[in-house]
């Protein structure tokens, strides 16, 4: 375990919050998961249980380790429960105003020496840090989805992040068995600066009628050996998150090559956010995903 970090708070119990809580507990950290909705906490604990069981079934974890990890995770809707954590990891919706509002609420609760990390996919760490009372103990710790499977974690320092914060975060990531990489604080860092424009381009290919959903995903799976087609991946990430990242790239780098595809905007406007809402480029409400175009 990383020095001085024993208890971790994870705020936001969606896909990423579940994954982060999962890997922290497997590594032996005491984890408290917080969401605004009680039902979301219930769903998250069930998801984590299911994913731990998957790892037991494939021989990656013993049943004893699964039980120990589960016993280390608690959940609530009460931000006051962050008072005892050594590090809080924010994994709420990719909405800058919501993240800033959350920091204003949690900073007075957190111990003065506690670290605060964000899992943001794209936002400026320096700008988010300025909304906290601890820019020197704030940084980006960007996990990849699905967290229990993906090896990489991008570390991003803001202008004020202290070296000791960065070193602690690096030790923490290594203690989870993951590989840290360092990105400078520019829009969407490394992974999403490259990945999101590829996904956006796939949506333009669909929008312009070059290929169907199925043709695009098959092309990239069988033609470029991607484990998921770009539209399947967009649904997996969440179309709201993809759009927020493209908007930030477009505004932050002031280059039209990052213009979000109007079809992506339309899907998000419809509330078709991908797997998490039951419909995106595929409809997940039946037995098998069915393309929506």
Ligand X SMILES: NC(=O)C1=CN([C@@H]2O[C@H](COP(=O)(O)OP(=O)(O)OC[C@H]3O[C@@H](n4cnc5c(N)ncnc54)[C@H](OP(=O)(O)O)[C@@H]3O)[C@@H](O)[C@H]2O)C=CC1
Active site residue ranges: 121, 142, 154, 192
Give the pairing type, strands 290-291 and 282-283. Answer: antiparallel
Q: Which does 150 bind (CB under 5 to 8 A by kind): ligand CAA, ligand X, none?
A: ligand CAA
Q: What does the alpha-carbon distance between residue 190 and residue 3 come to, in Å, rounded to a whole number?
A: 28
Dihedral sign (CA 259, 263, 264, 270): positive
- Report which of 187, 292, 194, 207 is spatially closest to residue 250, judged by C-alpha positions: 187
In the complex, minimum distance from the CB of residue 22 to ligand X, in angstroms, rounded to a whole number: 12
Determine, following the binding rule CB under 6 A, whether residue 65 of this chain makes contact with ligand CAA: no
Is 170 marked within a binding site?
A: no
Q: Which of 10, 13, 55, 135 binds ligand CAA (CB under 6 A)?
A: 55
Measured from the CB atom, the residue of 85 and 233 that comes closer to ligand CAA is: 233
- Contact letters for ligand CAA, residues 110-139 (x by CB under 6 A): -----------x------------------
Rounded (10°) CA dihedral 271, 152, 56, 12: -40
In the complex, minimum distance from the CB of residue 217 to ligand X, in angstroms, rounded to a whole number: 17
Measured from the CB atom, the residue of 85 and 102 that comes closer to ligand X is: 102
Token duo for residue 116: 């605060």
Q: Which does 37 bind (CB under 5 to 8 A by kind): ligand X, ligand CAA, none?
A: ligand X
Determine, following the binding rule CB under 6 A, whether residue 256 of this chain makes contact with ligand CAA: no
Q: Which does 51 bind (CB under 5 to 8 A by kind): ligand CAA, ligand X, none?
A: ligand CAA
DSSP string computed for 180-214? EEEE-SSTTTTHHHHHHHHHHHHHHHHHTTSS-HH
Question: How many chain residues bind ligand CAA (CB under 6 A)?
Answer: 20
Token duo for residue 14: 């969606």
CA distances to 89, 127, 227 from 191, in Å = 19, 20, 16
Is 68 marked within a binding site?
A: no
Determine, following the binding rule CB under 6 A, whether residue 54 of this chain makes contact with ligand CAA: yes
- Report which of 122, 118, 124, 128 is spatially closest to residue 245, judged by C-alpha positions: 122
Binding region for ligand CAA (CB under 6 A) out of 83-91, 124-132, 176-184, 233-241? 233-241
In 140-190, alpha helices (H): 163-175
Q: What does the alpha-carbon distance between residue 62 and residue 52 come to, in Å, rounded to a whole number?
A: 9
Is 283 marked within a binding site?
A: no
Residues that bind ligand CAA (CB under 6 A): 51, 54-55, 58, 60, 121, 144-146, 148-150, 191-192, 195, 227-228, 233, 237, 241
- Return binding residues: 12-17, 35, 94, 99, 121, 145, 276
């Amino acid at each position: 375990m990383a020095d001085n970090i024993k208890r971790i708070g994870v705020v936001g119990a969606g896909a990423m919050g579940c994954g982060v809580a999962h890997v922290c507990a497997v590594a032996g950290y005491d984890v408290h998961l917080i969401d605004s909705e009680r039902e979301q906490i219930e769903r998250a604990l069930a998801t984590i249980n299911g994913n731990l069981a998957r790892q037991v079934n494939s021989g990656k974890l013993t049943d004893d380790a699964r039980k120990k990890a589960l016993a280390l995770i608690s959940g609530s809707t009460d931000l006051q429960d962050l008072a005892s954590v050594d590090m809080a990891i924010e994994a709420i919706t990719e909405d800058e105003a919501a993240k800033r509002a959350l920091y204003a609420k949690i900073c007075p609760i957190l111990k003065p020496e506690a670290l605060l990390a964000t899992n943001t996919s794209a936002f400026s760490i320096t700008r988010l840090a300025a909304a906290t009372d601890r820019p020197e103990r704030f940084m980006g710790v960007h996990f990849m989805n699905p967290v229990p499977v993906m090896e990489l974690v991008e570390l991003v320092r803001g202008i004020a992040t202290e070296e000791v914060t960065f070193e602690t975060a690096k030790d923490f990531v290594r203690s989870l068995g993951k590989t840290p990489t360092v990105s400078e604080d520019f829009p969407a860092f490394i992974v999403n600066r490259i990945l999101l424009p590829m996904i956006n381009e796939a949506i333009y290919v669909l929008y312009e009628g070059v290929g169907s959903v199925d043709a695009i995903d098959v092309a990239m799976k069988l033609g470029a050996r991607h484990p998921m087609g770009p539209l399947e991946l967009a649904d997996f990430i969440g179309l709201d998150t993809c759009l927020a990242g493209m908007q930030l790239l477009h505004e932050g780098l002031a280059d039209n090559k990052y213009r979000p595809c109007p079809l992506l905007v339309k899907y998000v406007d419809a509330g078709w956010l991908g797997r998490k809402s039951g419909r995106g480029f595929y409809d997940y409400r039946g037995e098998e995903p069915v393309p929506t175009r």
